[in-house]
Chains A and B, each alone.
Chain A
Amino acid sequence: MAEAENIVVETAERIFADLADAQTINRDTKGGWKAPLWQALGEAGLPLSWVSEEYGGSGASLADGFAVLGAAGRFALAVPLAETMLAGWLLSQAGIDSPEGEMTVAPASPRDRVTLDTDGTLTGRARGIPFAKEAKHLAVLVQDRRGKALIALVEAAKCRIEQNLNLGGDDSDTVTFDRVTPAAIKPAPEGFDLTSLLLMGAVARSLQIAGSLESMLDISVRYSNERVAFEKKISKFQAVQHNLAKLAGESAAALAAATSAADAFAGGATADAAFLEAASAKIRCSEAAEKAAAIAHQVHGAIGFTIEHILHRYTLRALAWRDDFGSESYWAVELGKRVAANGADELWPLVASR
Chain B
Amino acid sequence: MTTALRFDPIRLPSECVKLREEVRAFLAEEIAAGTFSPFKPNREDNDAREFSRRVGARGWLGMTWPKKYGGHERSYLERYVVTEEMRVANAPTRRFFVADRQSGPVLLKYANERIKMDILPRICRGEVCFAIGMSEPNSGSDLFAAKTKATRTDGGFLINGTKIWTSSAHIADYMIAIFRTSPPTNENRRHGLTQFLVDMKTPGIKVNPIGQITGQFEFNEVVFTDAFIPEDHVLGEIDGAWKQATSELAYERSGPERFLETYYVLTELVRAIGPSPDTRAAEGIGRLVAQLHTMRRMSVSVAGMLHAGKEPVVEAAIVKDIGTIWEQQLPHRVRDLAAFVDENASNRETLENQLAFAIKTAPKLTIQGGTTEVLRGIIARGLGLR
Contact of B289 among A248, A260, A339 (CB under 8 A): A339
Contact between B285 and A340, CB atoms less than 8 A apart: yes
Q: Which residue of B lies closest to A285 (CB)?
A: B294
In the bound complex, residues from chain B placing their C-beta under 8 Å from that of A158 are none
Interface hits, B74-99 → A, CB 8 Å: 84-85, 88
In chain B, residues 354-386, which have Cβ atoms closer than 8 Å to a Cβ of chain A?
A: 373, 375-377, 379-380, 382-386
> Which residue from chain A places its CB closest to the CB of B326 in the assembled complex?
A253
Cβ contact within 8 Å between A329 and B298? no
Q: How far is the CB of B381 from chain A (nearest CB, A)?
A: 9
In the assembled complex, A109 has its CB within 8 A of some CB on chain B: no
Pick the residue among A214, A242, A252 that contacts B1 (CB under 8 A): A214
> Which of B7, B293, B386 lies at the interface centre, i.e. has the most chain A CB atoms within 10 A of its CB?
B293
A344 → B minimal CB distance (Å): 4
B282 touches A249 (CB 8 A): no
Taking the nearest CB of chain B, how far is it from the CB of A148, in angstroms?
A: 28
Closest-CB distance, B63 to chain A (whole angstroms): 18
| C-alpha gap A346/B319 in the complex (Å) | 25
A253, B271: Cα distance in complex, Å: 27
Closest to A276 in B: B293
CB atoms of A222 and B289 under 8 A apart: no
The residue in chain A whose Cβ has the minimal distance to the Cβ of B381 is A241
A194 to chain B, nearest CB (A): 18
Number of interface residues of A (CB under 8 A): 61
CB-CB < 8 A to B284: which residues of A?
Answer: 332, 336
Q: Scan residues 1-55 of chain B and give those whose CB is less than 8 A from a CB of chain A.
A: 1-5, 7-9, 11, 20
Give the complex CA separation of A246 and B273 in angstroms: 32
Determine if A333 and B385 form an interchain contact, defined as CB atoms under 8 angstroms apart. no
- The closest CB in chain B to the CB of A266 belongs to B9
Cβ of B292 within 8 Å of any chain A Cβ, yes or no, is: yes
Query: Does chain B have a CB within 8 A of A283?
Result: yes
Given A284-B294, A340-B282, residue A222 in contact with residue B5 (CB < 8 A)? no
A214 adjacent to B385 (CB under 8 Å): no
> Which B residues are in CB contact (< 8 Å) with A345?
267, 271
CB pair B266 A347 closer than 8 Å = yes
Give A311 Cβ to nearest chain B Cβ, in Å: 15
Q: Are A280 and B289 in contact (CB under 8 A)?
A: yes
Is A354's beta carbon under 8 Å from chain B?
Answer: yes
For B273, the chain A residues whose CB sits under 8 A away are 340
Contact A245-B379, Cβ < 8 Å, known A276-B293, A333-B286, A351-B296: yes
A245 & B376 in contact (Cβ 8 Å cutoff): yes
A298: B residues at CB distance < 8 A: none
- Least CB distance, A242 to chain B, in whole angstroms: 5
| Minimum Cβ distance to chain A for residue B178 (Å) | 26
B-chain residues with CB within 8 Å of residue A277 when the two chains form the complex: 293
Contact A336 B383 (CB under 8 A): no
* Interface bits B241-268 vs A (CB < 8 Å: 1, else 0): 0000000000000000000000100111
Contacting residue for B276 out of A249, A333, A334, A340, CB 8 A: A340
Whether B297 lies near A354 (C-beta < 8 A) is: yes
Set B85, B276, B283, B380: member contacting A244, Cβ < 8 A: B380
Contact between A256 and B2 (Cβ–Cβ < 8 Å)? no
> How far in angstroms is the closest Cβ of chain B from A65?
15
Interface status of A227 (Cβ within 8 A of chain B): no
Taking the nearest CB of chain B, how far is it from the CB of A351, in angstroms?
6
B301 within 8 A of A: yes
Question: A166 at the A/B interface (Cβ < 8 Å)?
Answer: no
Please report the C-alpha to C-alpha distance between residue A295 and residue B217 in the assembled complex, in whole angstroms: 40
How far, in angstroms, from A17 to B379 measured CA to CA in the complex? Answer: 28
How far is A352 from B256 in the complex, measured between Cα atoms in Å? 11
- The answer to whether A351 and B289 touch across the interface, beta carbons within 8 angstroms, is yes
Q: Is B281 an interface residue (CB 8 A)?
A: yes
B210 within 8 A of A: no
Assess whether B223 is interfacial by the CB under 8 Å rule. Answer: no
Nearest chain A residue, comparing its CB with the CB of B372: A242
What is the minimal beta-carbon distance from A237 to any residue of chain B, in angstroms? 9
Q: A103 near B: Cβ within 8 Å?
A: no
Residue from A242, A335, A344 within 8 A of B290 (CB atoms): A335
B315 at the A interface (CB under 8 A): yes
Contacts of A230 in B (CB 8 A): none
Is there contact, CB below 8 Å, between A252 and B7?
Answer: yes
A120 to chain B, nearest CB (A): 38
Partner of B267, one of A222, A332, A344: A344
Q: Is the CB of B286 within 8 A of A253?
A: no
| Chain A residue with Cβ nearest B272 | A344
Q: In the bound complex, do residue A260 and residue B9 qualify as a contact, i.e. CB atoms below 8 Å apart?
A: yes
In the complex, the answer to whether B322 meets A241 with C-beta atoms within 8 Å is: no
Which A211-253 residues have C-beta < 8 A from chain B? 214-215, 217-218, 221-222, 224-225, 235-236, 238, 240-242, 244-246, 248-249, 251-253
Task: Say yes or no: B7 contacts A332, CB within 8 Å.
Answer: no
Q: Report Cα–Cα, A73/B383, bound state, in Å.
A: 21
Contact B1 A332 (CB under 8 A): no
Report chain A residues within 8 Å CB of B279.
333
From A218, A333, A348, B2 is in contact (CB under 8 Å) with A218
Q: Give Cα distance in the complex from A280 to B373, angstroms.
A: 28
A334–B286 Cα distance when bound, in Å, is 7
- A142 on the B face (CB < 8 A): no
In the complex, the answer to whether A333 meets B318 with C-beta atoms within 8 Å is no
Query: How far apart are the CA atoms of A336 and B283 in the complex, in Å?
Result: 6
Asked if B283 and A333 sit within 8 Å, CB to CB, the answer is yes
User: Cβ of A177 < 8 Å from any Cβ of B?
Assistant: no
Cβ A340 vs Cβ B270 within 8 A: yes
Per the bound structure, the CA–CA distance linking A340 and B266 in Å amounts to 11
Instruction: Decide: A339 near B379, CB < 8 A? Known: A256-B7, A259-B9, A351-B289.
Output: no
- Write out the residue numbers on chain A whose beta carbons fall within 8 Å of the beta carbon of B282: 332-334, 336-337, 340
CA distance A354 to B16 in the complex (A): 12
Q: Which 8 A-B pairs have the closest CB atoms?
A: A332-B286, A336-B282, A336-B286, A263-B9, A335-B286, A344-B271, A336-B285, A283-B290
Q: Please give 6 more A-B residue pairs, beta carbons under 8 A apart, in addition to A245-B321, A280-B289.
A: A253-B294, A253-B295, A256-B297, A262-B9, A264-B9, A332-B286
Interface CB pairs A-B, < 8 A, 22:
A221-B3, A221-B385, A236-B385, A236-B386, A241-B380, A241-B386, A242-B376, A244-B385, A253-B298, A253-B322, A263-B9, A279-B290, A280-B293, A284-B291, A332-B284, A336-B285, A336-B286, A343-B275, A347-B266, A347-B270, A351-B289, A352-B296
